[in-house]
């Protein structure tokens, strides 16, 4: 009915079709999780560790429990299966004794109003024994350094290592006439989606747990909630409302299990909303990566060899780190054919905020390294950046560093040609 405003709707595949939900969004009707409410709802607030690494010696909850409006104060003892995670369940719903990052949730307070929940949360006393932390992945990966997750990840903090080996690097260096070698570093980033995490959880008329949330993957959330609470999948309904951006930052569980737990225990609808600050302290981040790159080429401008070492800071929990560093290793060459390659990529656990999926997923950070190397090589060779790339890009039939032959759509050359006119005369400095 609303499909024809201004007549810009047209065609089907290939058409500039307008998104149906845009009407609700320009009118302010689209409901994000903070916008949904239910009669009789209470509010829950998490008490999070200010310390990056600590043992919990004890909790004092009496004051909080007695505070005005408080309905329940929950701890790890209330969680049937206290773990979640996309690859490993190494992240606690509520920390029992070992805090591994600042922002780890320890106690969950539920009260009639948000203000009462926050006040009561302020009355929770956690006795922390602060431990020395591991903040540098290069340090954390050394032998003999205490492991942060001995039960799940063994005696090392290296949660993942992938070598990618192709051809013979010695041969590649013998053929190389020009070499560029540099260290690169990318920073930790936040997704900064505009809608802070929020959730509404309640037990419905069937006795099923319903969780209304903005997530990237409702079925994953359902599995983690059901597992943590010891329920069957069919007893848990995750219902996605409007999602205010995600970019990877809504892959891992944030408030879903805590709100579900509070609702299951109190049989009241439970609302949780992160402030922007809580959002920063609680969801995953983009992996900072240190990348050592050494690239060789012939005078004729053909790449002969790449050696690279990439270390990604996984932070306190594995999340998607193995997959992300794998992706970094596999994409480390850039879209170029290089016959001789040795890449080593590592994901290392530390006591920094945990890192996980973010737009680009490990294929983003190496772009800084491989494209800087290309420009530096072009300068050494007296070629334009465009020309050096054209001599090395992947085309149909090219073989990647993992030995994969690209047989289908490989539009790299078309893309380069399409932007060529915008490059103008880049000075050959």
Partner 1 sequence: MKIELTVNGVARILEVEPEERLLDVLRERLHLTGTKEGCGEGECGACTVIMDGKTVNSCMVLAAQADGHAVTTIEGLGNRGSLHPVQKAFLEEGAVQCGFCTPGMVLSAKALLDRSPHPGKEQIAVAMSGNLCRCTGYDKILRAVERAAGEVKE
Partner 2 sequence: MKKRGRGLGCAWYGTGYGNGFPDVSSAFVEIHDDGSVSVLTGAIDVGQGSSTIFAQIAAEELGIDPEEVTVISGDTDVTPDSGTSAATRHTYNTGNAVIKAVAQAKASLLTYAARALHCTTADGIELKDHKVRVKGEPSRSLPLAELVSKARLEGERFLGSDSYTARTTRVNPETGQGAPYWPYAFGSQVAEVEVDTETGNVQVLRVAAAHDLGKAINPLQAEGQIAGGIAQGVGFALLEEVRLSEGRIKNPTFSQYLIPTVLDMPEIRAILVEEPEGTGPYDAKGLGEPAMLPTIAAIVNAIDDAVGVRITSLPATPEKILAALAEQSKK
40 contributes a contact to partner 1 by CB under 8 A? no
Q: Around Cβ 410, how many Cβ atoms within 10 Å?
A: 15
382 vs 97, 336, 372, 377, 426, CA distance in Å?
Answer: 60, 19, 15, 8, 12
Look-up: residue for tokens 């959880």?
Answer: 201
Selection from partner 1, partner 2, ligand FES, none that 77 binds (CB < 5 to 8 A by kind) is none
In the complex, what is the shortest distance from the CB of residue 425 to partner 2, in angstroms, rounded to a whole number?
A: 9
Q: Among residues 35, 63, 112, 375, which is the contact residue for partner 2, using CB under 8 A?
A: 375
Contact positions with partner 2 (CB under 8 A) in 124-143: 133, 135
Please, how many CA atoms are within 13 Å of residue 266, restricted to the half-sphere of its CB?
A: 27
Among 323, 337, 349, 381, binds partner 2 (CB under 8 A): 323
Task: State which of positions 309-368 bind ligand FES (CB under 6 A).
Answer: none
Establish if 240 lies at the interface with partner 1 (CB under 8 A). no
- Residues 231-260 contacting ligand FES, CB under 6 A: 245
- Pair 357, 217: CB distance under 8 Å: no
Which of the ranges 53-61, 240-248, 251-259, 298-306 carries the binding residues for partner 1, by CB under 8 A? Answer: 240-248
Which one, 78 or 190, has the nearer CB to partner 1? 190
Is there a contact between 255 and 274 (Cβ–Cβ < 8 Å)?
yes
Residue 179 or 240: the one with the smaller Cβ distance to partner 1 is: 240
Render 56-109 in DSSP notation, one character per residue.
Answer: EEEEE-HHHHHSTTEEEEE-GGG-SS--B-SSS--B-SS-SSEE-STT-EEEEE
**Minimum gap (Å) between residue 385 Cβ and partner 1:** 24
Strand partners, 22: none
Site string for ligand FES, 128-167 (x = CB under 6 A): ----------------------------------------
Q: Which stretch binds partner 2 (CB under 8 A): 74-82, 113-121, 294-302, 353-361?
A: 353-361
397 contributes a contact to ligand FES by CB under 6 A: no
Tokens standing for 81? 């299966």
Both tokens of 147, joined, read: 């492991």
d(CA 150, CA 146): 9
- Give one word for 55, left, alpha or beta, with left for phi > 0 and alpha for psi -120 to 50: beta
CA angle in degrees (0–180, nearest 5) for 75-77-82 = 90
CB of 66 to partner 2, least distance (A): 30
* 275 near partner 1, rule: CB under 8 A: yes
Binding mask 55-84 for partner 2 (x = CB under 8 A): ------------------------------
Rg (CA), the chain: 26
* The two structure tokens encoding residue 288: 């900072």
Residues 154-193 that bind partner 1 (CB under 8 A): 191-193
Answer yes or no whether residue 26 interacts with ligand FES by CB under 6 A: no
- How far apart are alpha carbons 18 and 22 in whole angstroms? 8
Residues forming the site for partner 1 (CB under 8 A): 2, 5-6, 8, 16, 18-19, 21-32, 34-35, 37, 191-196, 242-247, 275-276
């Amino acid at each position: 009915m609303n499909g024809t405003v201004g007549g810009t709707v047209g065609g089907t595949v290939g058409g500039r079709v307008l998104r149906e939900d845009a009407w609700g969004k320009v009118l302010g009707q689209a409901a994000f999780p903070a916008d949904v409410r239910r009669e009789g709802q209470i509010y829950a607030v998490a008490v999070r560790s200010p310390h990056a690494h600590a043992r919990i010696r004890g909790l004092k909850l009496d004051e909080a429990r007695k505070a005005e409006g408080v309905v329940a104060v929950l701890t790890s003892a209330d969680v049937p299966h206290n773990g979640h995670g996309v690859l490993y369940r190494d992240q606690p719903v509520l920390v029992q004794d070992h805090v591994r990052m600042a922002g780890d949730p320890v106690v969950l307070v539920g009260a009639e109003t948000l203000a009462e929940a926050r006040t009561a949360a302020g009355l929770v006393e956690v006795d922390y024994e602060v431990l020395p932390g591991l903040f540098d992945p290069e340090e954390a990966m050394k032998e003999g350094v205490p492991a942060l997750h001995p039960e799940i990840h063994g005696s090392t903090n290296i949660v993942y290592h992938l070598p990618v080996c192709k051809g013979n690097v010695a041969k590649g260096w013998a053929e190389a006439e020009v070499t560029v070698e540099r260290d690169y570093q990318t920073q930790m980033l936040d997704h900064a989606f505009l809608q802070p995490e929020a959730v509404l959880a309640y037990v419905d008329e069937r006795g099923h747990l319903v969780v209304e949330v903005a997530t990237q993957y409702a079925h994953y959330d359902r599995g983690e909630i059901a597992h943590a609470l010891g329920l069957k999948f069919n007893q848990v309904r995750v219902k996605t409302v409007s999602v205010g951006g995600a970019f990877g930052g809504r892959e891992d569980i944030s408030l879903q299990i805590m709100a579900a737990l509070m609702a299951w225990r109190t049989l009241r609808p439970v609302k949780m909303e992160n402030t922007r600050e809580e959002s920063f302290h609680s969801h995953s981040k983009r992996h900072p990566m240190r990348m050592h790159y050494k690239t060789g080429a012939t005078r004729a401008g053909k790449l002969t060899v790449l050696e690279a070492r990439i270390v990604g800071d996984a932070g306190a929990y594995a999340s998607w780190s193995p997959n992300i560093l794998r992706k970094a290793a596999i994409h480390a060459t850039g879209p170029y054919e290089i016959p001789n390659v040795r890449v080593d990529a590592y994901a290392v656990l530390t006591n920094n905020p945990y890192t996980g999926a973010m737009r680009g997923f490990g294929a983003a950070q190496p772009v800084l390294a491989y494209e800087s190397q290309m420009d530096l090589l072009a300068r050494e060779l007296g070629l334009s950046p465009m020309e050096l790339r054209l001599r090395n890009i992947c085309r149909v039939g090219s073989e990647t560093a993992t030995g994969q032959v690209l047989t289908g759509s490989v539009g790299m050359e078309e893309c380069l040609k399409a932007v060529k006119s915008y490059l103008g005369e880049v000075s050959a400095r």
